[in-house]
Structure 1
Amino acid sequence: MIYKLYQSVCKEFLLLKRDLGGVVILFLMPLVLIVMVTLIQDSTLKKFSNTKIPILLVDNDKGNVSHTVFENLQKSDVFTVVTQIDSKPLTEAVAKEAVFKGDYQLAIIIPSRLSLDLQAKIDQNVENIVSSLGFADSTAVAKPKAIVNEKEVKLYFDPATQLSFKNAVMSSIDKMISQIETHSIYTAFQEQLGEGSASFEQKSFITFKEIVPRVNDKEIVPNSVQHNVPAWTLFAIFFIVIPLSINIVKEKTQGTFIRLRTNPVSNAIVLAGKTITYLIICMIQFYMMLAVAVFLFPHIGLPSLNIEGNLFMMTIVALFSGFAAIGFGILLGTVAKTQEQSAPFGATATIILAAIGGVWVPVFAMPKVMQIVAKSSPMNWGLNAFYDVLLRNADFIDILPEISLLFLFFIITITIALLYDKKKRSV
């Protein structure tokens, strides 16, 4: 049996040897893909982290509120405030047109009398509270209260702007206005109660601190490499579905499979030979991509992938991911009747599994329905296992659920392929 399995593996390598161009593409394609995608994503992240976004500010208030908003925006690491275009002061119409053309991502329109009306409204509220507590001057003549209408700060966004950016900007501006309003309330109370000059600290009493995991006294800071290497390694591993399924279809159409069946060799031995052969290819792909991430990336301006202490666990994840991909490829090749069926379907299925598995878009950013669907993708299981190893310092027990699902997927697809082939031959 071992000899038959050995000969089956040798047969698969001979077939691959006859198509050296395809084998080279099989190895080079993932390497080019991982380098290009990581370079693009890393440069995008650096651009957003190092480059300030110019935004338009139209100040119709000319008061304390607008001045504070302007100063806070200028001090931020995200925005550069623009108040003139072509050396002319901005108006709402000009700012609106510039944003809707796509020249700027955001315009903030501060209404007139915002500072004065805000202070008037706060004074009215404070006077009511002080009066209700019995601290008001009983000899003072009550003044008629002016009606203060609500104010509206207008935000014009470029139609192509992402919703997350809009929410972040609105939250930031709302926080600025809240700080100004709180300051004014403190001041108004102290003036009403006769406590002298107001002293208000704008620094938040409650702050936030991110605690990141540490390994060997070093912080584990996620970067583009830690996402792209596992993601596109999985994509490359599952891409072998195409040549594997085509190989099986060729054997059926050329009569090779029939000649193999005339020999005293079971179909299980033939499929085991294919599994071992393509598993070796998967692992070569995996180690080549790791080598690129560790040794090449630092020379082209990318962070190096830190695999210290994680290589063995990553190898296990890649091994079981390879099993899942091979099982899917064998099933597809067994069911497909022609190469025209297997190749397009294999490519499309791989892309769909990658899309719903979180290779392109993080699963948490998907709609709720797609988040549930993503749990059915083998690529999602493999990607989560890689993340557990690289970012969460997981051990074998922690990744056991994911690799069990991957191996179960392999067992199910191989079983279906064997049963389908047996039924087809018995008809």
Structure 2
Amino acid sequence: MNALNIALKDFQIFLKDRGAVINLFLLPMVFILVLSTAMQGLIGGDEDSLVTLPVVNLDPDGEAAQALIDALNEAGGIKVRLYDQAEAQALLEDLEIERLLTIPPNFTVDVAAGRPVTLRLVSHPDANETTTESVLRVVNGVGRGMSLQTQLIASLEQMGAMLAASPPEFQVFTAEKNVAQAQSQFERSRTAPLVAVEQTRPENLGERVTEPNAVQQNVPGYTIIFVFITAQATAFSIYREKKEGSFRRLLAAPVSKAALLAGKMIPNFVTGLIQIVVIFGVSVFVLPMIGLDRLTLGDDPLALV
């Protein structure tokens, strides 16, 4: 009897134990699947993705309301999605959407008349506070820009009305021309702003660090945990055989203690490798088929092996 014979015997015993086979392959994948699904989107993700802002427009025919929506989309970082009021409220309560912006009725009329208008941004208590603050800053910036434009146009119209009573030689520019010129400059400021910010990442400051997603974090971690659990099978096997008396017969056999120890360790080592290959293979090829992220093996998979 040598180490290979002992290892083969332990393999045969292991394959007859269906519970051990389930613990080896099925149980780790259940843990990884459940936790990766629950944490999908909470860990890692695309940093450059737009934040979806649900909007209820109670002034659907208003030009100012549509201009506000267009300005939010053009502001950067936000993608507006329109909802019905009842539907949006139900989704907000169920946390299917985290925040909701409501444009009030008569928004266009009130803005044109110079009356104060309040945009209502409601966020769920469990919403990400950092994202909500970012959305609020964008909405405030767009709102202030619209307010400034409205006040400037109103001032130009008022100035034109005052100049209307002046002699014709003083009426060089009419109110209509002034307003048209101001609106033209507003449009130009959106497409070709006077001050622009350019973001760069100098190459000499190091490479950009990519944060792992839920799959990349859970799969290696739980693989290590379950490999250690599988390693306990070796100690338990020796303990059980010692308790049942079969270990004494192995010690009495013409085999060295080193061969006996190797025979007990080989099955555990091989099953651990098989477990890692199966878990990683499922994470690379199967998880993307059910909508989860793919496990990446890095820039040098051979080094990982």
> 2:9 is matched by which residue type in structure 1?
L
Deviation, structure 1 residue 222: 6.6
2:99 is aligned, of 91, 103, 106, to 106
Number of the residue aligned with 1:278: 268
User: How do 1:14-413 residues align onto structure 2 when only pairs under 5 Å count?
Assistant: 14-20=9-15, 21-22=18-19, 24-29=21-26, 32-33=29-30, 36=33, 40=37, 55=54, 57=56, 59=58, 67-72=66-71, 78-85=79-86, 99-100=92-93, 105-109=98-102, 153-159=119-125, 162-164=126-128, 166-182=129-145, 184-185=147-148, 197-198=181-182, 199-200=185-186, 201-202=189-190, 205-206=196-197, 226-227=216-217, 229-257=219-247, 273-293=263-283, 307=297, 310-315=300-305
In structure 1, C-alpha distance between the alignment counterparts of 2:57 and 2:291, rounded to whole Å: 40
SS where residue 246 of structure 1 aligns? helix
The structure showing larger relative contact order (alpha-carbon pairs under 8 Å, at least 6 residues apart) is 2
Which deviates more from structure 2 when the two are superposed, residues 280-289 or residues 177-186? 177-186
In structure 2, C-alpha distance between the alignment counterparts of 1:234 and 1:305, rounded to whole Å: 15
> 1:107 is matched by which residue type in structure 2?
L
TM-score by length of 2: 0.54
Identical positions, percent? 20
In structure 1, C-alpha distance between the alignment counterparts of 2:39 and 2:94, rounded to whole Å: 28
| Cα deviation code 1:358-396 (max 9, x no counterpart) | xxxxxxxxxxxxxxxxxxxxxxxxxxxxxxxxxxxxxxx
Mark the CA change 1:229 to 1:96 in structure 2 (over 3 Å): closer, same or farther: closer
In structure 1, C-alpha distance between the alignment counterparts of 2:90 and 2:215, rounded to whole Å: 39
Count the aligned residue pairs.
259
Mark the CA change 1:242 to 1:29 in structure 2 (over 3 Å): closer, same or farther: farther
| Cα deviation code 1:70-124 (max 9, x no counterpart) | 34567887542224449xxxxxxxx76774466864333457999979x979xxx
Deviation, structure 1 residue 18: 1.5
> 1:281 is matched by which residue type in structure 2?
T
TM-score by length of 1: 0.42
Deviation, structure 1 residue 25: 2.4
In structure 2, C-alpha distance between the alignment counterparts of 1:256 and 1:245, rounded to whole Å: 15
Deviation, structure 1 residue 240: 1.0
> Unpaired runs of 5+ in structure 1?
87-94, 122-147, 213-219, 316-427
In structure 2, C-alpha distance between the alignment counterparts of 1:210 and 1:34, rounded to whole Å: 39
Number of the residue aligned with 1:409: none
Deviation, structure 1 residue 181: 1.8
Aligned-residue CA RMSD (Å)? 5.6
Mark the CA change 1:295 to 1:104 in structure 2 (over 3 Å): closer, same or farther: closer
